[in-house]
Amino acid sequence: MFIYKPTNMSKLENLLVTKRLIIEELDLASIDSIKKFSSRIISKYTRLDFLINNAGLIVGKYEKTVDGFEMTMGVNHLGHFLLTELLLPLLKRSAPSRIIIVSSVVHYAARLNKPDLQLPEHEYSEVKAYNQSKLANVMHAVELSERLQNSGVTVVSVHPGVVKTEFGRDIKCTGMKVLITLTKPFYIGPWKGAQTTLYTVLSDKIVTGGYYSNCAFKEASSKVKNEKERKWLWDKSCELLGIQNRGS
């Protein structure tokens, strides 16, 4: 299954040569779009073996989603959080199944912004916003794995590596632009960048709640081990999205 926003459609037309590819519309910056997408999937399919939360963005200027969330946190964490919750009943019925949340090594340098995960406009930094969202991804994976014990649903997070894509094209921070220019020759290609995600989909050796990089288990940030912080993130995410405290 390939999920897209209409603005990206022209780039996907060459993929439609196979009937095994199914395209559905999903905008992770919209609660309404996420709910409609989830309803379509649940009504169309009796099984969901893998959910790979791979969408992500970094924006150079402060923006909000249609629901009023800071854009980076709204898409990278809250959008995935809601999508996962809504598809969880189908994933449970399909057990053994897996949820893979694509994070980043930058989560080590992040902290959660309290009281509401939102970076205010006057404090906005695309780097801080992105890093925080990636920390939230790893914490979400661990907390969800705890809540889904004995359900048959495995949950992990991954760092795919620094991949040669158009990601980061809107970065405004001069320091980040210089860093990207200097390090770009060392970026990996899309095929190699997909390997850790594929490993967590296909391997029988992964551990639920684990963080994986370069096709191997890695220790996540010590912040991820803080149960109180994970629960705070979970409760705050549910509060912001207006959903019941579920996940089990």
Supply the residues annotated as catalytic.
130
158-187 burial, b at 16+ Cβ within 10 Å, e below that, comes to bbbbbeeeeeeeebeeeebeeebeeeeeee
Contact between 237 and 170 (Cβ < 8 Å): no
Contact between 146 and 156 (Cβ < 8 Å): no
8-17 burial, b at 16+ Cβ within 10 Å, e below that, comes to eeeeeeeeee
